[in-house]
């Protein structure tokens, strides 16, 4: 008899987590609480409730976390301009700490002694979920079925489902859906099937959020974003909530073929993995945020942020959102954003996000009187540059003389 009495399952209502729900009941003889997080993935979430009820589940949570997701996770990450391995905007990674947080809250509310997820033993998500669980509730028990059961193939999963009367879509019976996909308000990802050959170009009909750049409108579209302390607060003069901002940027970006990415990345567990991503709103947001920072941040502060960004991005990718080092770094990043206020004008055109204007009435460090090519009235003494250059060249001159002296002695 298992010592686990009640477990909170991160439940999507799909084939995998439906099998897990039945498997938990069979294997651990425990009560299961289902938790479905709405982070903007779309689809009819109430179907998860209906399926859970068919399993006899009495405690069913379906939580709308969209605003919290963008406000407390996506926006703080974009204040850092975070990109993993130079390209990936961390769409899947940033949703996991929120789901883990709410799962632990539900475990406390319901008196559950364990939590469970549907991540496989090959991926990053198992790490992200479980580091989150343990950081927030160190004594929690974790059940990861993919690391325990013998259902090691799609065929075995379908067979188990049919044996237990679990509804199986025809696409699963015929070999599974074309791709393994994950979606939220920030992005949608695609893995598996033909993408497992890095040399194979993705099929055009794979992409769900964006048109191809070739099919995008022939006329560019302009938009204005207003920032307050590093976060977008309005679009084209209309105040919007964080989730509303990202939703509208996704629509505009998708319309203009913006935000597609085909990437071979290094997973935390050690393997390389090929994935494709659509992040239309995030691509626009990153470009705009860097533009407003360009006129409001001190040079060395901006360069320090750029130096720290890869480490910050790696913390998110590898699941250390709740770690002390990420929390400390976030305080530094957020402190830099007090001056990041103003607006940015962008042009969207056939897969491109082009900055065409930016200004800050209160915090701009751009001084046209100094940088002008015209007469500056003595605001900048060009002759000062000679001493500046000679001092900075001093070590180079010393080294060059030493090399020349050594060469002469060697003759």
Q: How far apart are CA 271 and CA 401, in angstroms?
A: 49
Q: Are strands 352-359 and 342-349 parallel, antiparallel or unpaired?
A: antiparallel
Verify that 173 and 186 share a domain, yes or no: no
253 shares a domain with 215: yes
Q: Distance between CA atoms of 267 and 220, rounded to whole angstroms?
A: 37
Nearest to 364 by CA among 391, 344, 390: 344
CA distance 85 to 290: 18
DSSP 262-331: EEEEE-TTS-EEEEEEE-HHHHHHHHHHHHHHHHHS-HHHHHHHHHHHHHHHHHHHTT-TTSHHHHHHHH
Q: What percent of the chain has pLDDT over 90?
A: 89
User: For residue 15, what pLDDT is reported?
Assistant: 87
* Boundary residue ending a domain (157, 177, 197): 177
For residues 208 and 95, membership in a common domain is answered with: no
Is residue 268 exposed (0-12), middle (13-18) or buried (19+ Cβ within 10 Å)?
middle
Q: How far is Cα 297 from Cα 306, in angstroms, rounded to an integer?
A: 12
Give domain status of residue 315, yes or no. Answer: no
| Active-site choice (18, 116, 125, 260) | 125
**Do 11 and 52 meet the contact criterion of CB atoms below 8 Å apart?**
yes
Same domain for 46 and 151: yes
Which residue range(s) make up the domain with 350? Answer: 182-297+340-359
Residue 217 lies in a domain: yes
> Which residue is associated with the tokens 């040399």?
199
Provide the CA 312 distance to its chain's centre, in angstroms: 12
Q: Is residue 411 part of a domain?
A: no
Residue 226 to residues 3, 41, 247, Cα–Cα distance (Å) = 54, 26, 16
Residue pair 24/143 in contact (Cβ under 8 Å)? The answer is yes
The last residue of one of the domains, among 177, 195, 224, is 177
| Predicted pLDDT at 169 | 65
Phi, psi of 137 (to 5 degrees): -150, 85
Averaged pLDDT for residues 125-149: 97
Longest CA–CA span in the chain (Å) reads 91
User: Are 211 and 89 within one domain?
Assistant: no
Domain co-membership, 145 together with 26:
yes
Asked whether residue 145 falls in the same domain as residue 59, the answer is yes
Catalytic one of 96, 260, 326, 358: 96
Q: What is the pLDDT of residues 74-85, one digit of tens each?
A: 999 999 999 999
Task: Report pLDDT for 43.
Answer: 83
Q: Rounded to an integer, what distance in angstroms lies between the CA atom of residue 95 and that of residue 40?
A: 10
Same domain as 196, residue 105:
no
Question: How high is the pLDDT of residue 405?
Answer: 94
Confidence band for 175, pLDDT divided at 50, 70 and 90:
low
Same domain, 164 and 204: no
Q: Identify whether 205 is a catalytic site residue.
A: no
* Span 247-258, average pLDDT: 98
> Mean pLDDT, to the nearest integer, of 60-69?
98
Residue ending a domain, among 177, 197, 213, is: 177
Active site residue 409: no
Query: pLDDT at position 152, please?
Result: 83
Q: What is the pLDDT of residues 285-294, one digit of tens each?
A: 999 999 999 9
- In the structure encoding, which two tokens stand for residue 167, read together? 């509804």
- Same domain? 208 vs 136: no
CATH number at residue 81: 3.40.50.620
- What pTM was computed for the model? 0.95
The predicted-structure confidence for 28-46, as pLDDT tens digits, reads as follows 999 999 999 999 998 878 8
- pLDDT exceeds cutoff 60 at 171: no
Q: Is the pLDDT reported for residue 406 higher than 90?
A: yes
Q: Is the pLDDT of residue 92 over 50?
A: yes
Average pLDDT, the chain: 95
CATH number of the domain to which 203 belongs: 3.90.1260.10
- b/e code 353-388 from CB counts within 10 Å (16+ = b): beeeebebeeebeeeeeeeeeeeeeeeeeeeeeeee
Cα distances from 246 to residues 56, 64, 353, in angstroms, run 37, 16, 15
8 Å CB contact between 48 and 36: yes
For the chain, the straight-line distance linking the first and the last C-alpha, in angstroms and rounded, comes to 86
pLDDT in tens, 179-236: 889 999 999 999 998 999 999 999 999 999 999 999 999 999 999 999 999 999 999 9
Please indicate whether residue 125 is annotated as part of the active site: yes
190, part of any domain: yes
Whether 83 and 150 share a structural domain:
yes
Count of structural domains, the chain? 2
* 1 pLDDT more than 80: no
Predicted confidence band of residue 177 (pLDDT cuts 50, 70, 90): low
In the block, tokens 């770690």 appear at 323
Instruction: Return the pLDDT at 170.
Output: 47
Q: pLDDT of 318-364, one tens digit each?
A: 999 999 999 999 999 999 999 999 999 999 999 999 999 999 999 99
Please report whether residue 331 resides in a domain.
no
Residue 375 in domain: no
Q: Specify the residue for token string 């998708």.
A: 254
Alpha-carbon distance of 127 to 121, in angstroms, equals 9
* Contact (Cβ atoms closer than 8 angstroms) between residue 169 and residue 26: no
Together in a domain, 106 and 35: yes
Domain membership of residue 109 (yes or no) is yes
Give the bridge partners for 347, in sequence order: 222, 354
Residues 240 and 251: beta-carbon distance below 8 Å = no
Q: Which of 180, 234, 294, 364 is catalytic?
A: 180
Is 96 an active-site residue? yes
Asked whether residue 188 is domain-assigned, the answer is: yes
Mean pLDDT is lowest, of 57-71, 165-179, 248-262, 344-358, for 165-179
């Amino acid at each position: 008899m298992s010592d686990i009495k009640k477990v909170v399952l991160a439940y999507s209502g799909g084939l995998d987590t439906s099998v897990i729900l039945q498997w938990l009941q069979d294997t651990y003889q425990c009560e299961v609480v289902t938790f479905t997080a709405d982070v903007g993935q779309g689809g009819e979430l109430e179907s998860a409730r209906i399926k859970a009820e068919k399993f006899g589940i009495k405690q069913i949570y379906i939580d709308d976390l969209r605003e919290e997701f963008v406000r407390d996770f996506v926006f703080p990450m974009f204040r850092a301009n975070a990109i993993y391995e130079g390209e990936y905007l961390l769409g899947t990674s940033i949703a996991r700490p929120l789901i883990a947080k709410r799962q632990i809250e539900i475990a406390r509310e319901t008196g559950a002694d364990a939590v469970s997820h549907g991540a496989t033993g090959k991926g990053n998500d198992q790490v992200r979920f479980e580091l989150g669980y343990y950081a927030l509730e160190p004594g929690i028990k974790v059940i990861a079925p993919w690391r325990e059961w013998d259902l090691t193939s799609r065929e075995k999963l379908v067979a188990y489902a049919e044996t237990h009367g679990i509804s199986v879509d025809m696409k699963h019976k015929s070999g599974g859906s074309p791709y393994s996909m994950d979606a939220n308000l920030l992005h949608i990802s695609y893995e598996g099937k033909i993408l497992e050959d890095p040399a194979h170009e993705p099929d055009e009909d794979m992409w769900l959020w964006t048109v191809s750049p070739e099919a995008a409108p022939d006329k560019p579209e302009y938009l204005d974003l207003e920032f307050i302390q590093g976060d977008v607060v309005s679009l084209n003069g209309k105040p919007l909530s964080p989730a509303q901002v990202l939703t509208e940027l996704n629509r505009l970006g998708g319309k203009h073929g913006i935000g597609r990415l085909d990437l071979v990345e290094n997973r935390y567990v050690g393997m390389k993995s090929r994935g494709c991503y659509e992040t239309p709103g995030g691509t626009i947001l990153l470009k705009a945020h860097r533009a407003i920072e360009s006129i409001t941040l001190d040079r060395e502060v901006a360069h320090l942020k750029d130096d720290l960004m890869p480490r910050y991005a790696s913390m998110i990718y590898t699941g250390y959102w709740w770690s002390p080092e990420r929390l400390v770094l976030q305080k530094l990043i957020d402190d830099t954003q007090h001056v990041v206020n103003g607006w940015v004008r962008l042009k969207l055109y056939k897969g491109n996000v082009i900055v065409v204007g930016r200004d800050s009435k209160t915090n701009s460090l751009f001084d046209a009187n100094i940088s002008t090519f015209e007469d500056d009235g003595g605001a900048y003494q060009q002759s000062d540059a000679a001493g500046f250059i000679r001092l900075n060249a001093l070590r180079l001159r010393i080294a060059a003389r030493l090399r020349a002296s050594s060469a002469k002695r060697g003759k």
